[in-house]
Each structure stands twice: as structure tokens, then as C-alpha cells.
Structure 1
């Protein structure tokens, strides 16, 4: 017979064994978690070691002209003037001063091509590029810039430089790890880690933008540096931050590398950028569920066409107002901003298939992409008209009837930029421009030709009318 004390001991030992066995999975799980974190940490470290040698510091020197200010006496009060009479003010002469800026960039070819932001090198008199190995290049050259996307390509005279491979930003998903590298506040080779917070952001910083939003710390001086994926490939070009203090607040923006690559390829070949052109105006917001329901759509994907420019590639292909573009070459169109960017990246002459939703049916249309530059000329958007804030088009019979200009000649104003010289002069959309600089105009081409004189005189004399009266208006380009 087994003593009672032994039975109790067995029970206690058995209980300890059971608890130990139960605790083993938790311990093993914790160990696995730590091992996973350790591997993740090593992955970040490996990416940093691979990328840092190809990330450069960009120092920029530029000359800033400051207009002279009126000099005022320190005794500026009515009592002083009653005793000593009025004072005579004079304007200090304008002066120039040197401004020094700091940014980042990264090497994309062994022979010295470097990708950075336009706002980093814009107006630079001198660009100094410093590599992480201590080499410094005092004579970096600007190959080309694109202010509309804030992308710039510069070059140093070197060979066998370390390079960062470019990835595919279209394959990037929200929530993925990303790594930002740059020189914030002049602190070279600074690495920060975060995730992709959102895609296709538009924040009003550039004309063409489709930003990747990230919470990886980006600060002043990071501009032009790479945003890397976990494979060490550049999937973005760090560009801006949202901040109320001037420093990091958890919201940074990077230009998708696919957009930057398209721009730099053109800059490298010709030093300038040409963009594709479709010739439509779109509803400038994402289609809401309510609007989708009214239009007969199953979801809110696609872009709504609000206007088709006459004689444009879209008009020739048969696109119509109220069409909803669902796909381009089989790829879903998410929103107007990304669609506009994709069209702009296409070469003139390329044919694409658009799937549109019209009268509750899908329809495919083949469009031959045009040139944005030629499209703007057709729309009367020359450099001078852009500065004046004017966009015009030919007066068609339909437009003449709609605005009450039957029998009249001229070009009709289709758009006026807010707070532009045209806007301040009271010119609005729907007005008719009869003459420019004392020359009658009846086509967009004549309008653009007549405006060339204004680039020299810095003024434009326009005869404009509405349905009630006509008047002369002088616009200044200064």
C-alpha cells in the first residue's frame, strides 16, 4: 500500500510537469517572436548598408536679389513732423546676397546621374555633391528639371559609383515597410523607418502629383533622398512633409519612382519633358457612392468626363461628356489624378484602349495619344497666356449660340486662373476676346501669335466683350 504522502507528492510533481508543458508553447512562441524581430532588424540594417553609399548630400548656392525698401526715419510721428516739417524718404538700392540650401539625392547610374527634387536645385548658381565615402564634386551639372512634377536630374563627372536600383511603385501596398534615407538638417546618411500610410495623395505641391504618404520620419534636408522598400530598391523620391512646426509630424510625401523614372528618362535623352494628351476635363473628385448610384455604376471606380475638347484625341476617338472611363488597356482607373498622371507619361502616337461606361453599357474606344504641348497651343495656353491666367478656344457655332455671340468673331475664354492679371481685370470664362495688341483674332493660333508681342512689352491690350458690351483691358505681365 502506497503511503498517502507519496500520492500527494506524485500529484504535485505531475502538476508541475503539466504546467511546464503548458508553458513551453508560450516560451517557444515568444522566442520565435524575438527571432522574427531580430531578422527584421537585420533586414533594415542590410538595406541601410546597401543604400547609404549611393545617397548623396546636395549643397546649393544661389544668388537672391532683394529689392530696395523705402528708408524711414526713426522719428516717424505727427509731433515730429509739426516741428520739423515733412521728411523725405528714399529707397535703398537693390542688393544681392548668397543663399545656401541643403538637400539630398541618390545615384541612379554608375557614370554619375543623380535623381533629386527640382525645388532643391532650382535657380542654383553652384551645386556641390558629397558622397558618403568623402568624395566631393564642386561642379555638378543640371541635366534637366521638371517643375510640374518637382523632379530634377543632375550629374557629376565620375565612374563606377554605387547605385540604388529603382523598384516598381505600382506594386507597393499600403502597410508595407519603407525606409527613408537622406541628410535632414545636414546630417548625412540618416536612416528612418516607417510604413506606407496611403497612396495617390494630392496635396497641391506640384501640378502633377500622385504622392506616396509615409510615417517614416522626413525632415528638411531629406528632399531628394530615396524612399526604399524592404528589398533596398527605390520606390519613391522623398519630397515634402506636412508640418505645423517645420519639423516631423508623422506625415511625409514621396513621388512614386515610376513617375520619377519616366521624367528622368526624358530629361536624360533631351533635357526636357513632353507629356501625353487626351483632351478631356474630368470631375475633380473621386466618384462618391451616391453619384455612382445615380450614374448606374456598381462601384465608385473610374473618372467622370465633364468636357471633351473639340478636335482633341478624345474627341476624334468618340469620347463624350458624361462618359465614365473605367479602364485603360485593361487596368482599372482608380481616380482622376492617377489617370491624368498615367496619360501624361504616355508617348505621343501611342494607341490605348479605354473602357467607358455610357448609357449603362460598357464600350471600348481606341485613342491615339497626342502631345500636351500641341494640345495647349490648340487651347491657347502659351507661356504668355499662362502668365496672364487665360485659356481660350475657337468660337464654334454651338458656343456662339450658347453665349450669345452669333455672327461675332474672336476666341472664347474657357478658363481664368484665380488672382491672375486676367482675373483681377474682371475677365471671366465665357467672355469673347476680339483683338489682341490691336490685331483682330478669330482663331486660337491668331490669338497666340498676337500675344508674342507681349513677351517683349510685358503688357497685353485686349478687346473683350460679353453679351452686353465690349471694352479694352490692359493686362500686365509684371
Structure 2
């Protein structure tokens, strides 16, 4: 008997062309899976230690998980023009309309979501419904299907809130992601490749996970299998409570490779409430640039350990500037929370209501100090404009303590970078390059102290003890960062 595979292959091809999950590397992310449709079950308690039977969990939460289908318009893109005299050019001119006159193409995407209240609100990922002209939600029983309205979406956390007008919707129980621990059993329900109500299971690998280019979300990392089409589905604990929204995978192939990430439900529900109330998300801001504190930097600033967030830049007129925070300060506490590392501070600030006055503990000149900053509202993300590259003049060797040669930054370049004075790194010894300093860096401060001349710079270096290190504040393109450089004998 010949196997019937042609329709399945076509289905998979169509689904893979849609809005699959995002990936933290080369692949798009993903979300989790769901289980067979069934009637809602009574509340269940935690399974016995060591048990791995998820049937009660599926019966309880599965009906509240939905399949999300989107439709986007996609016009044909203009191709490369044919060279003059090409015999095909006349054919295309006569029989093929230009791209702006061709009929509009429509693409379909798939994802997952779950009902969070009886009013018909549904949580999913922002990337699932991005640029969608139509959003359709299908319930687990595969019989009820509704057009959904996008109440709002937040791209920075990848959370979107949908609304359907439907009676008697099953609602997913909401838990608390803050209570999750590594090693705990979790399960995911969603629609991988369009196979609705698929369930997969695994354990929590880590919490509070930071990912590249993801500033605001402390992800839950699991080994639960998720694939394209799972995005937006729930991550569940063994009590059948939603503790996360499956959002991303780490993959080199585009499919599951053993690592997946979920947005904590505590954060997602706060975002959903703001979207429901105002249609957008308001975040706090201080107006600073920060970087991680390494062991060499901690030594340079006479800090007992590598902790906190090192301030590299302060926007003029920002809440941080008004509070007296300066580059070179290491922020150790924000309000009542200790800042363990630089990745934690943006989440703390973003989660603070604008207008709130917060005590900020900083490490400055070898001692602790506390300032009070009034958090402002963060503007919409904007792309920073590139600044002209700084060009120096004739190199002037500095003290051999650092093994570098510098030149003074011309006045025009200073204005372009927004600095009063700086030294361009023209040459450096191999050991200095390994320390992190690069040719073309513009040095503007030593251990947080600005200098106004080459002589002043050399004088500050002479005060550094041999065998230790100094923290040079440099401008590198549009970024500001501290670079710890070993000090030799001068």
C-alpha cells in the first residue's frame, strides 16, 4: 500500500513558510506543545515525587490552549533588472506586470496561545502576530474558531494580548514563575508544525537566564521539546499552572536541539494588564549606559568583588544625571534590591513606575554612597544614529606603563562624540590588545576621572601602582565602556 505523504508534505511546507518561533542563534524561536482535546477536569494537586504521568495535567489545561493562525500580505519584491538588449526584457515588458501592479500575495503563519480569563483574553508571543492582517484562534476541540483582535503587543518582552468574543471559554490556571526551581518537572502544550494540542515535557534547566540582545526578560531555560508553531503556548508546572510562555529556542538547525526558553508568567501577566488597560507598556528609565564588572575592573575600582553595574555613560538631563550619578560609579543596589550583575539592573529600572523616587547605592572613589533618583518614563525604542569616526593627529607616545601611543582628539571630532577631551589609541603592544583595548578607541577617563590634557592623563597613570590595573573609559563607535589595562613599570 502506497503511503499517503504528499498532502502532509505540502502542509508542512506551508506551515514552515509561516511565523515560526524565534531562535537565539540562526533559527527562529519556538514554543511548546499541547495534548488531545478533552473536557476540563477538576483541579489536581502535585504529582507524587518521581511520577511522570502528565495525563491529569493535559485534561486540566489542554482545553484552554489554542491554535493561532495569522495572515499577512506580502507583495512580490522587485528583482534585478535585465541588461539592455536582453531578449527576455521585451517578453517581461509585454506579459509580466511590474511588481507594484502584481496581485498581492498572502502568507500564513501559525503559533499557539492560551486563554487567561473568561472575557476571552489570550496570551501569545508578539512575534506570532507581528504584521498580521488577520488573526484566527481555534480551540482545542478543533470545532470552535474565532477571529481575534490584537489588544496590544510588546516587542521588547515578546508578549501579545488577543481578545475573542466567545462564551464559556476554558481558562488556564495561572501560577507564579518566581517559585520555579532548576530540576523541577515542567510541560509544554502547543501546535508544533500545526499539530495542535501536542504536549512535551522536561525539566527546568535554569531560571533568570539572560540572552544576547534580550535586555528585559529573565528567561526560564528548559529542555522541553519545542518547535516552530509552539510559540506562545504555555509552560506548565506539575500542578497544572501556567508558569511561562514558550518563546525561543537555541538552535543551529531551525528545530529543537535540547534548549528552549520561556517568558516568566509573572512578567507576562503584568505586561498583559498594561496592554489591556492602556494598549501599551510603560517602563522606567535612568538614562545611563552600563557594563559588567569583571575581576580586573573590580580591582581597579577597589571593589571587594566583581558585582554591580558599572556606569559607562550618563545622558545629560536624565534622572541619573539629576541624581548625581557619573561614569565610573558602580551601582550596587537599586531600591531594596541588590544588583548582582549588569544584566539585572535594566529589569529593575524598567519595572519601576515612572515618577518613583528610588535610593541608589553606588561605589565611588573606593567608598559607598547613596543618591536618590526619580525614575522617568522610557521613550519608544529608537535606532541610534551613527556618529562620525574620530580621527586623531600625529601620535604621541604615553608613559610606557600602558604600552600605548595616543593622539589628541581634534575639536570637530570631540563635538561629534560629545566629549570635552579625549585621546585616540594609535598604537598598542600585543599584551595591551589582549587586555581589551583596541586601536581607534577614544580614552576619556582613568578610573572614572576625566582628564583635560595629555599631561593630565600621564599624571593620572603615574599615580597607579605597578602590577595593578587601571580602568580606562573609552568610546568605541557609539558605545562607552571601561577597559581594565595592566599597569607596568614607568
TM-score, structure 2 length as denominator?
0.64
What corresponds to 1:275 in structure 2? 283
Alignment of 1:57 with 2:52, yes or no, is no
- Identify the match of residue 134 of structure 2 among 126, 129, 133: 126
Alignment of 1:332-343 (within 5 A): 332-343=338-349
Does the 8 Å CA contact 1:128/1:136 hold for their aligned counterparts?
Answer: no
- For 1:168 and 1:390, the matched residues in 2 are separated by 42
What corresponds to 2:297 in structure 1? 291
**Deviation readout 1:146-193 (Å, 9 max, x if unpaired):** 122221111111244222233333333333222211111112222212
**Deviation readout 1:49-89 (Å, 9 max, x if unpaired):** 322121111011111111233576xxx9xxxx9xxx75363
Q: How many residues align?
A: 350
Distance 1:100 1:330, change over 3 A: same
- For 1:413 and 1:322, the matched residues in 2 are separated by 17
Alignment of 1:364 with 2:378, yes or no, is no
- For 1:356 and 1:320, the matched residues in 2 are separated by 10
Alignment of 1:158 with 2:172, yes or no, is no
What corresponds to 1:249 in structure 2? 257
SS of 1:63 mapped into structure 2: strand
Alignment of 1:345 with 2:351, yes or no, is yes
Does the 8 Å CA contact 1:181/1:227 hold for their aligned counterparts?
Answer: yes
Q: Per-residue deviation at 1:403?
A: 5.8
Alignment of 1:16-27 (within 5 A): none
Q: Per-residue deviation at 1:355?
A: 2.2
Runs of 4+ in structure 1 deviating by more than 6 angstroms, as ranges, are none
- For 1:171 and 1:297, the matched residues in 2 are separated by 32
What corresponds to 1:264 in structure 2? 272
Structure 2 segments unaligned to the other structure (5+ residues)? 1-45, 389-407, 420-439, 443-490
What corresponds to 2:314 in structure 1? 308
Q: Per-residue deviation at 1:239?
A: 0.8
Q: Per-residue deviation at 1:122?
A: 0.9
- For 2:178 and 2:105, the matched residues in 1 are separated by 43
Does the 8 Å CA contact 2:334/2:348 hold for their aligned counterparts?
Answer: no
- For 1:183 and 1:191, the matched residues in 2 are separated by 9
Alignment of 1:404 with 2:411, yes or no, is yes
Distance 1:294 1:206, change over 3 A: closer
- Identify the match of residue 108 of structure 1 among 93, 107, 116: 116
Distance 1:350 1:66, change over 3 A: same
Does the 8 Å CA contact 1:413/1:429 hold for their aligned counterparts?
Answer: no
- For 1:205 and 1:307, the matched residues in 2 are separated by 19
Distance 1:67 1:302, change over 3 A: same
What corresponds to 2:385 in structure 1? 389
SS of 1:367 mapped into structure 2: strand
Distance 1:337 1:136, change over 3 A: farther
Q: Per-residue deviation at 1:39?
A: 5.2
- For 1:39 and 1:331, the matched residues in 2 are separated by 34
Structure 1 segments unaligned to the other structure (5+ residues)? 1-35, 393-400, 415-427, 431-478
Alignment of 1:121-200 (within 5 A): 121-200=129-208
The structure having more radius of gyration, on CA atoms, is 1
Tell me the C-alpha RMSD between the 2 structures: 3.3
